[in-house]
Amino acid sequence: MAGRTSEKGNTTGKTIFCFIGKVIGAGITAFAILALFCVFYYNPPVHEPCGNGVTSYVRQADTFWARGTEGFAMGTTDDNGYNNSYPAEGRKTAILMMGSSQTEGLYVNEDDCVSYLLNEKYAEDGSSRYVYNVGMSAHTIYRNISNLENALKVYQPAEYVALETGTLAMNPVEAAQALNHEMPDLTAGSGIPALEALEKNPYIKLLYQQYKNLQSQNNGETDVTITENAGYDVFGDDTYAATEELLSYISRTAEEADVQAVIYYIPDMTLTEDGSYECSASVDTRDTFAELCGKYNIIFADMTDSVEEAYVKEHIVASGFDNTTVGYGHLNAYGHELLAQCIYDAIGEEEQR
């Protein structure tokens, strides 16, 4: 009797262990399938410390990336961790681009990115100019101004430094932080070694990004990689003074490096219910900013008119994707083409004067 009881106990124990083993095996299999799916759905290279002050962080160098959360895009980072797939072929950098995820081209294929398209345009002209892109997510114009001196020292562009902005009437608080090099830190990772190792798994990357998005929403933060401060885009005495200070600094720093400064404006556009496509900055705001740029010898490339014209004449929106919200979000391939043409034209017009 005791023997039978023992046998039943052993059988029950084996059944439990077998069940636990199946559960663990199923979990591992499911995790592996999700990770494999995310290789092409959401697989950005993790951020790593930059080290030279050009940006607050870079992405893993020489690493394949893919995203399907906003549009569908893929590419490979260069040996510095930036998005530059157009072959330099021994040419030195003539134009250095600094910006946020818009400039980085996060959600378009690498050969649809603004810097790639600019390189194509100059190559078609027979020019030896090379455009190098250090755009990085969450790097607003304030952060790039704070990093401007380092960027010019490290990459030493021969002709131009071009900075992205989504804001024209600059925030006085952030302007002061930029000029005093007191911008809040951007961490390259979670700071937890074990978690940072796990973050290299595509599925873990997606979960961690969702956690950060939820954390930002709870803190009342906005996605600075899409729009910097659109609601503040009205000039008052304080914003005018802050803008003038920043432009003066950009002009002076560029002049010391013997390059011409360019600022290119990516407007925050809204597709309204009545079908109109509206810019966050009024014509007066844009004209005032253009006048200030002229005062400080800065080329201003404003893509607003070309974006509006493409919508009216060709029914094309520059932002948003079929799998998200049309008309909202990051620049799509049309937007990058319009931006590249805008910068190309602005520089060309200045050179013909």
Does residue 74 carry a pLDDT above 90?
Answer: yes
What's the mean pLDDT in 89-113? 97
First to last CA, the chain: 105
Percentage of the chain lying above the pLDDT 70 cut: 78
What's the mean pLDDT in 270-284? 88
Nearest Cα to Cα of residue 164 among 314, 34, 336: 336
Rounded to a whole number of angstroms, the CA Rg of the chain reads 24
What's the mean pLDDT in 207-235? 53
Residue-wise pLDDT tens digits, 2-46: 455 555 556 666 777 786 776 676 666 655 565 554 556 677 888
Mean pLDDT estimate for the chain = 86
- DSSP state, residue 133: E
Phi/psi of residue 208, nearest 5 degrees = -65, -40
Residue-wise pLDDT tens digits, 154-184: 999 999 999 999 999 999 999 999 999 999 9
Higher-confidence residue of 11 and 191: namely: 11
Question: What are the beta bridge partners of residue 302?
Answer: 265
Q: Name the CATH architecture for the domain at 64-352.
A: 3-Layer(aba) Sandwich (3.40)
Question: What are the beta bridge partners of residue 133?
Answer: 97
Residues 146 and 181 sit within 8 Å (Cβ to Cβ)? yes
* The pLDDT of residue 30: 59
Query: At 247, which amino acid appears?
Result: L
Phi/psi of residue 126, nearest 5 degrees = 80, 15
What's the mean pLDDT in 78-107? 97
Pairing of strands 160-165, 95-98: parallel
Query: At 245, which amino acid appears?
Result: E
Percentage of the chain lying above the pLDDT 90 cut: 64
Residue-wise pLDDT tens digits, 225-268: 333 344 448 899 999 999 999 999 999 999 999 999 999 999 99
**What distance in Å separates the CA atoms of residue 330 and residue 268, rounded to the nearest whole number?**
9
**What distance in Å separates the CA atoms of residue 99 and residue 166, rounded to the nearest whole number?**
10
Does residue 297 carry a pLDDT above 60?
Answer: yes
Contacts of 131 (CB under 8 A, 6+ apart): 86, 93, 94, 95, 97, 115, 118, 119, 122
Q: Which two tokens stand for residue 26?
A: 């199923």
* The pLDDT of residue 80: 98
Residue-wise pLDDT tens digits, 126-158: 999 999 999 999 999 999 999 999 999 999 999
Indicate the helix (H) or strand (E) that contains 164. strand 160-165
